[in-house]
Amino acid sequence: MATEKQPVKISAPKNFDKVVVSGNVEVTLIQNGTEGISYADDNSGKVKVIQDGTALKITSADNQVAKVTVYVKSIYRVMASDDAVVKTEGKLNVTNLQVLLSGNAVAKIDSKTESLYTVIADRADLKLSGTTQNHSLVMGSTPKLNLDRFAAVNTVMNTPEATIQTAALSK
């Protein structure tokens, strides 16, 4: 009887600076000199990865957890929704970073930035570590936020309603 083994799949997306994750996916971000993605062979889940312009879109293709490692040169936006988990291995060192979470998404981000913009909606959970000059935070009433190992020179906090109202007034 032959045993079926999940193959390790490696692809080489290029020139992406946004990672969009949804579904039952666990993504580990690693900043180094190359860009790419690898799918661990200890997975039982399936994942679909599409590059759409400068965005790398990663979604689960079934109910099992899929674990993926994404290698980035530079990144400026991380979006996670549903039950997605995004974490960094090492520190992301970028000028500007946006982290947008919704649903039950969880993010554990270690970064050194000049500007950090975070949006936490629904029941999302954000754990930040590292440093930034300017941190803008938009947060609803039920998300979780942990800043124990994070330092910002300036922090501005808004609710989603205040942000929408400001955007409406600026038109």
Closest CA to 81 of 107, 56, 44: 107
pTM of the model: 0.86
pLDDT tens digits along 9-44: 555 788 999 999 999 999 999 999 889 999 877 788
Q: Count CA atoms within 13 Å of residue 162 on its CB side.
A: 11
Better-scored residue on pLDDT, 166 or 90:
90
Better-scored residue on pLDDT, 33 or 125:
125
Domain that holds residue 43: 10-169
Strand partners, 113: 132
Residue 99 lies in a domain: yes
**Distances from the Cα of 89 to the Cα of 28, 64, 71, 77, 108, angstroms:** 6, 23, 10, 16, 9
| pLDDT at site 123 | 94
Strand partners, 80: 21, 101
Q: Count CA atoms within 13 Å of residue 68 on its CB side.
A: 34
Q: Indicate the average pLDDT of the chain.
A: 88
| pLDDT at site 60 | 94
Q: pLDDT > 70: what percent of the chain?
A: 87
Residue 3 lies in a domain: no
Number of domains in the chain: 1
Residue 73 lies in a domain: yes
Residue 51 lies in a domain: yes
Residue 114 lies in a domain: yes
Residue 132 lies in a domain: yes
We report the CATH number of the domain holding residue 108 as 2.160.20.120
Residue 15 lies in a domain: yes
Residue 149 lies in a domain: yes
Taking the C-alpha atoms of residue 163 and residue 25, their distance in angstroms, rounded to an integer, is 29
pLDDT tens digits along 91-119: 999 999 999 999 999 999 999 999 999 99
Taking the C-alpha atoms of residue 30 and residue 171, their distance in angstroms, rounded to an integer, is 38
Least confident segment among 37-51, 117-131, 145-159 = 37-51
